[in-house]
Amino acid sequence: MLKAAAIATAAALVSPALAQAQGRVVGTVIDYSAGVPSARSVKAAGHMGAVRYVSERRPGANWMLGKPVTLAETQDFKAQGLATASVYQFGRDTTADWLGGAAAAAQHAPSAIRLHIAAGGPTGRPIYVAIDDNPSRAQYENQIRPYLRAFQAALALAGYQTGVYGNYNVIQWCVEDNIGTFFWQHDWGSGGKIHPRTTIHQKAKWQATIDGVKVDINNVYAADWGQWTPGQTVSAPIVPAAPAAPGTPTAPGKALSGLTQEEKEAVAAISDLVATGGKLIGDVASNSSLPGSSLPSSSIRGLF
């Protein structure tokens, strides 16, 4: 059971969703993994910034020269008046991160936090968690939902918000389950629809090449798309643009009180890694520790 103080802390960091699609596109951002274009070239191409990976290259993907994002890159963006948002995705397809359910969050969330911090990412901003698939409802209920709930609880306790990258159905299911405050939609399995809570929309096959690097182009529907710059201090969403579901913040206790025992165990395991500077699990970031996070292990371990 999680202690009341920790529950209240996490609950205070969960806020209603910020943006809705079907409205005016405020600009474009890019995402990429095969290399790193210069900020000057990204700006010249007319983009506001990029969503960048706070995840390592997976085994066999040596072509992913743009993973993970670095502090030098985000500082270059800042110097050109551009911004960065963070996304976590390590595996894909048969190695998708979510396949392990809640227990997998204990492997992946610490790596996301570590790499976000290393790139200059502040607290108060979201890390998008990728569901790069067209899952069934059963896969969502049995694996994806437990994975995202544990990931979200860990991020909240560490001072971050949660974004979800997924298709129309995944976003809808997450909205119904109070998972995520930012939503980045891809088109696979979306049936040509854009979900009304979409913050960023990755349009299928909308690509360009910048400095020799192939990039995906995304429409942005909100002034606050989860962006940050290194050195920025943020304790709340920057600009609550066009709220889709305005209302009061989540009541104390609600953010974590509904977690299953497995999900609570995953969050506690993450907190232990952060608090002790322990080694991360498996291939994600072996021989790495987690400096700089505020995830309070002693306050959430409770009666485990």
E strand or H helix at 44: helix 39-44
**pLDDT value at residue 13:** 42
**pLDDT value at residue 274:** 57
Question: Whose structure tokens read 């529950």?
Answer: 7
Instruction: Write out the two tokens for 3.
Output: 């202690």
Give φ, ψ of 97 to 5 degrees: -60, -35
Q: What is the pLDDT of residues 276-301, one digit of tens each?
A: 544 443 334 433 334 444 444 444 34
**pLDDT value at residue 257:** 65
**pLDDT value at residue 259:** 84
CA angle 226, 32, 283 (to 5 degrees): 90
> Measured between alpha carbons, how far is 232 from 76 in angstroms, rounded to an integer?
14
> Measured between alpha carbons, how far is 266 from 243 in angstroms, rounded to an integer?
31
**pLDDT value at residue 275:** 56
Q: What is the pLDDT of residues 84-120, one digit of tens each?
A: 999 999 988 888 999 999 999 998 999 999 999 999 9
Q: What domains are defined for the chain?
A: 4-301 (3.20.20.80)
List per-block mean pLDDT (blocks of 10 residues) for the chain, which spans 304 residues. Answer: 39 42 85 98 99 93 94 98 98 89 92 97 97 94 95 94 97 97 94 93 94 98 97 61 35 58 76 53 38 42 36
> Measured between alpha carbons, how far is 159 from 233 in angstroms, rounded to an integer?
12
Instruction: Write out the two tokens for 78.
Output: 């800042």
